[in-house]
Amino acid sequence: MRPYRSESSQSGLSGRAKPESTAIADLYEKYWLTLLVYIRPMLPSLEDAEDVLVEVFLAALESDILAVLAERQQIAWLRRVAHNKAIDYHRLSARRPVTHLEDVAEHLFDDDELGPERVVLRHEEVKLLKLRVAELPGPQQEVLQLRFGYGLRCAEIARRMNRSEGAVRTLLSRTLNLLRGVYVR
């Protein structure tokens, strides 16, 4: 959201900014390709060169000196800034190495567990499991929750459920076998 400005302040700002931004726009239209061709061999990809080109013209917008230079001096200034921005790119990339997506795309889903199809299948399995657990009688749901939800051992579960440890083991085993049977079908 832009801050509110009165009409008098808007006309004053646009009156000053418009000729300068128009001059920069004209420079861009005239020299963008020349500068891109100049910086492209210095950088690893066309996208990086385009990013540097944007930085060059942002610097031109922020510059106070560019407007007072003659056209030949302006192109020399733009080339010098482009050269410096390309060098800055290399300095930054040396400090912060970047891995390009193209380099890792082929290995991105080497692990089948991370592949999109496997993730969807896993979600469907979890949904089915939740549905089947919800259909179980209360004691079977409770024994599953205590064992796998809270990580309790059978002896601790037996004390909480007021059953013998053997009864809890049998209940847990039968419940797990019942749920396995759902997946076999």
7-98 shares its CATH topology with 112-184 = no
Band the pLDDT of 15: cuts 50, 70, 90: very low
Over the stretch 162-171, which tens digit does the pLDDT of each residue have? 999 999 999 9
Predicted structure pTM score: 0.45
Type of residue at 146: L
CATH tag, 112-184: 1.10.10.10
Q: In 5-61, which ranges are E strands?
A: none
Q: What is the mean pLDDT of the chain?
A: 82
Residue 161 contacts residue 143 (beta carbons within 8 Å)? yes
Q: List the chain domain ranges.
A: 7-98, 112-184
Residue 61 contacts residue 21 (beta carbons within 8 Å)? yes
Over the stretch 62-120, which tens digit does the pLDDT of each residue have? 988 888 889 899 999 999 999 999 999 988 887 877 676 777 766 665 666 667 787 88
CATH tag, 7-98: 1.10.1740
**CA dihedral over 72, 75, 79, 81, signed as positive or negative:** positive
